[in-house]
Amino acid sequence: MSELYQKLATAILEGSSDKVPGLVQKALDQGLTPKDILDHGMVVGMNEVGARFKRGEMFVPEVLMSAEAMQAGLKVLRPHLASSGAKLIGKIVIGTVKGDLHDIGKNLVGMMCEGAGFEVIDLGFNVDPEKFVQAIKEHRPDIVGLSALLTTTMRAMGHTIKAIEEAGLRDQVKIMVGGAPVDAEFAQRIGADGYGSNAPAGAELAKRFVGAA
Amino acid sequence: MRTNYRVNSGIQFRMFSQDQLQELFESVLHVLQYTGLDVHHDEARDILKKAGAWVDGLRVCIPPYLVKRALEMAPRSFTLFARDGNPKHDIHIGPGRAYFGPGPTCPNFIDVDTLERRPYVKSDVPIVAKVVDALPNIDFCESLGTVSDVHHELGATYEFAGMFPNTSKPIVAWSYNWQDSADIHKIAITEAGGQEAFEKRPNYVHYCEPLSPLVSTFEAMDKLIFAARHRVPLVFTPCPISGGTAPVTSAGIIVQAAAESWMGLVVAQTIQPGLPFIMGGVLSAMDMNTMILSYGAPELALNMAGLTELAHYVGLPLWQTGGCTDSKVLDEQAAIEGSLSVFFSALSGGDLCHDVGYTESAMTGSVFQLVMMDEAIGYARRITRGIEVNEDTLAVEVIHKVGPNGHYLREPHTRRYFKSEFWYPTLCDRHNFEEWDMLGRTPMRQRVIDRVHDILASHQPSPIKPETEKVIREVLEAAEDRVKQAA
């Protein structure tokens, strides 16, 4: 039993998208609970990926391979998690702020968060502050992630946070920001709860917000 | 589908035209024929005379055909072998390959604990060898110093005895005379498994240094004859100084240095046809303000690149110079002078580039400079590796697949190449500000010091054979007896 968890963790670590779904199915067939498969197998593997990336032993393309393997496993696991009433580790709404058409950084963070075991709702790019407010009301996420690449659009992050405050939703969510021109000091100034310097760091931060890291 | 499609063209530096190279070559032949050199060695003069040279007292003039014959016999490509059979530590000398290592005989050393300059001592030798053994871009070993705390005739014997067990990378062995050359050779052939085994797989190179201008000293010739008789690959390297012991012009110092080195070539090839011979010369400028021989001057890098081209033109490998500095400390000057000369050396494709780790104009050896230059050599090697162009690297299909506003991070193409296409630094910092802050805000200098201490605390070179350990003890005892009896 623990051997299967170990195999799952290793397959995630190695980024084997082809192996993970089969292993998840095998675990389900053996009667392991979806929640245990997630926590003791898949998340263990992904945590090791995060640790190795931090130590400079894994590189971004390899981390993404592991995230993809995680996603492939979640695809099999998700219906079972839902029917067993167990939840993923958290829910995140992400989007690139108004006036900014840059999509890639935000997509990577979304992928990494999904890989870390979050449910991710992606609002896309050039997202109005009002749309973020609507999404919070509708999806009730734990975390909102704002992305911007341009020094000219990073101010829209502040506007978005203000709109969330004005809607009376600020204390319901943690807000994280990221993107090339953003730093920790800027994040603090506009009233965000945290800043991720790159995609894996963003996922790490999200895990800290929900007490999973 | 295209067939036979492969383009690999590295980056190279070319200074001379073919006409200029021919002019340099003819000028060297002219100097050897009409000026000649003083050769302070009776047997060497006899050998040269029998071979067809003109001998008048000490002066030896060599006709061009003798030089050309010697050039014809000396190999352009050969291999120096790791003493432990580790193929990663072998050195394959040949076109398009540049190898790096420290230099010999600095009187001082930067203490690895106190970071202070002091005389070089016996216990520094294993430190240098271990650091050389651990560094991925340092390929051969010299000691970076002259051992000061043993009898003055035994420095080189102790030096080799200290280096040999602590690195399996090939050693370039400096020595005083025939006797300590024999000490060194005995140790090396024991490990190799005897004289014949050594001849097939040589694990060290013999280093000789004649005097400028135009003198073959007794010691240089005696050591050369030792190496030739025992089939030890040979570096024969003068150290002329522009404006002092050589013409002030770059072309002039190249001509003189080549003549000085080729006198050694002719003797060596006459004794032992086909002996691997590495043409030498450290060609730098005398600073006309301070009178030092500058190891950080651009003229050093320029002259060495010129000498490399001449060597390759006549089919010889070259003893290059780089990674050295006139600075007294590990600072910005040391980084600029060291890195630029390393890069220039790599661009010229000089075969064995030595003096990496020299500071204070060769007065002080520093493993800190050596470690910093290991990073610079890695950088330079990535550039000289060039850009590979083939259907897969052109990536037209991948560009099409990703299209506008996509990204490449998830592409198998990226995963296939991101490690081999990019060079990853070990000392240069690429963290963002916050991460750098969290990691202690270390400057380069501190990271270099930390790396030296890490290596010394953790690196284990592969051991030598027990019989070689025994021979080292015997050689050192016999050497001590020798100097006692002489006293």
**Domain span at B410:** 387-421
Same domain, B447 and B403: no
Task: Indicate whether B199 and B100 sit together in one domain.
Answer: yes
Provide, as residue numbers in chain B, all residues whose Cβ is less than 8 Å from the Cβ of A197: 432, 434-435
Give the CATH number for residue A153: 3.40.50.280
Rounded to a whole number of angstroms, the CA Rg of chain A reads 17
| Cβ–Cβ below 8 Å for A61 and B407 | no
Contact A197 B414 (CB under 8 A): no
* Residue of chain A minimizing CA distance to B417: A61
A14 and A99 housed in the same domain = no
Smallest Cβ distance to B409: which of A64, A101, A183? A64
Domain boundary among B395, B421, B447: B421
Distance CA B334, CA B370 (A): 11
Question: Could you tell me the CATH number of the domain that includes residue B20?
Answer: 3.20.20.480
Which of B407, B414, B432 comes nearest A104 by C-beta? Answer: B407
Do B120 and B156 fall into the same domain? yes
**For range B342-348, the mean pLDDT:** 95
B110 and B71 in a common domain: yes
Number of domains in chain A: 2
**Pair A54, A151 in one domain:** no
CB contacts of B409 in chain A (<8 Å) are 60-61, 64, 108
Among A84, A119, A149, where does a domain finish?
A: A84
How many structural domains does chain B have?
2
Select the residue of B407, B415, B419 nearest A65 (Cβ to Cβ).
B415
On whether residue B1 sits in a domain, the answer given is no
**Pair B186, B120 in one domain:** yes
Domain edge (last residue) among B404, B421, B438: B421
**CATH number of domain containing A36:** 1.10.1240.10
Q: What pLDDT, on a 0 to 100 scale, did the predictor assign at position A100?
A: 87
Q: Which tokens go with A19?
A: 């192996």
Mean pLDDT confidence for A103-119: 86
Cβ(A190)–Cβ(A177) below 8 Å: yes
| Set of chain B residues whose Cβ sits within 8 Å of the Cβ of A108 | 407, 409
Tell me which chain A residue has its CA closest to the CA of residue B409: A61
Q: Tell me if B410 and A184 make a contact (CB, 8 A cut-off).
A: no
The Cα–Cα gap between B183 and B153 comes to 12
> Does A75 lie in the same domain as A137?
no
Nearest residue in chain B measured CA to CA from A197: B432
Same structural domain, B348 and B411: no
In terms of domains, do B251 and B394 share one? no
Q: Examine the domain organization and report whether B412 and B324 are in the same domain.
A: no
Residues A96 and A162 both lie in one domain: yes
- What is the rounded CA–CA span in Å between residue B425 and residue B22? 41
Distance from CA of A196 to the nearest CA of B (A): 10
**B136 part of a folded domain:** yes
Q: What does the pLDDT read at residue A54?
A: 82
Q: Does one domain contain both A50 and A107?
A: no
Are A59 and B407 an interchain contact pair (Cβ–Cβ within 8 Å)?
no
Average pLDDT, integer, range B148-163: 97
Residue A47's domain spans which residues?
Answer: 2-84
Query: Do B451 and B407 share a structural domain?
Result: no
Over residues B279-284, mean pLDDT: 96
Structure-block tokens of residue A103: 């999509």
A42 and A104 belong to one structural domain: no
pLDDT at B5 over 80: no
- From the list B415, B432, B433, the residue facing A61 with the nearest CB is B415
Task: Write the pLDDT tens digit of every residue in B65-112.
Answer: 999 999 999 999 999 999 999 999 999 999 989 999 999 999 999 999
On whether both A31 and A101 belong to a single domain, the answer is no
- The pLDDT, as a whole number, for residue B483 is 94
> pLDDT digit string (tens) for B9-23?
667 778 899 999 999
Q: Among A58, A104, A188, A195, pick the best mutation site for testing chain B contact (most B Cβ within 10 A).
A: A104
B320 has a pLDDT exceeding 60: yes
- Please answer yes or no on whether B434 and A60 come within 8 Å at the CB atom: no
Domain boundary (A84, A104, A138) is at A84
Rg (CA), chain B: 23
**Alpha-carbon dihedral sign for residues B411, B412, B413, B419:** positive
**Final residue before a domain boundary, out of A84, A119, A154:** A84
B462 shares a domain with B416: no
**Mean model confidence pLDDT for chain B:** 96
The beta-carbon contacts of A15-23 under 8 Å, at least 24 apart in sequence, are A15/A62, A15/A64, A15/A65, A15/A66, A15/A68, A15/A69, A16/A69, A17/A65, A17/A68, A17/A69, A17/A71, A17/A72, A19/A69, A20/A69, A20/A70, A20/A72, A20/A73, A21/A72, A21/A73, A21/A75, A21/A76, A23/A73
Same domain for B246 and B298: yes
CA distance A104 to A110: 10
- Chain B hits for A101, CB-CB cut-off 8 Å, are 405
Give whichever of A100-104, B41-45, B434-438 has the largest mean pLDDT: B41-45
Same domain, A96 and A196: yes
Instruction: Looking at the structure, tell me whether residues A16 and A64 fall in a common domain.
Output: yes
